[in-house]
Structure 1
Amino acid sequence: MLEFTLPDMSCGHCAAAITQALAAADPQARLQFDLPQHRLAVDGGQLDEAALAAALREAGYPPA
């Protein structure tokens, strides 16, 4: 499981945008959001941490 802190993620709309972006990049990834803590956990996907971070940056949610 990989964990990311996403300072710009604050609401359900953010989570939906991230879900859509990561589903396009890695359909097998399972996502768990902690909105109050601005954290995202990704499990079971095919992409490594760098590729996931790049997909998050491209979606407008750069990891801290």
Structure 2
Amino acid sequence: MSAPRLPTRRSNESRGTGCDADESRYSVPARFIGHKVRVVLRSTELIAYDGRVEIAFHPG
């Protein structure tokens, strides 16, 4: 059984190489500094996307 999906959050990161989600900070590749990325939070993982391309994955 897969983990339940939580609402998608958006992050507009202008400094550093990360995104903020639920009061935590997660890294993304440096080339995405200043870009809007889509962040999908699940109970056991966080996935960041640029469009439809996964750019970062953080297990829980």
Q: TM-score, normalised by structure 2?
A: 0.30
Please tell me whether Structure 1 or Structure 2 has the larger radius of gyration of its CA atoms.
2
From the two aligned structures, give the one with the greater helix fraction. 1
Query: Which is richer in strand?
Result: 2
Q: Which has the higher relative contact order, 1 or 2, with Cα contacts under 8 A spaced 6 or more apart?
A: 1
- Please report the TM-score for the alignment, with normalisation by the length of structure 1: 0.29
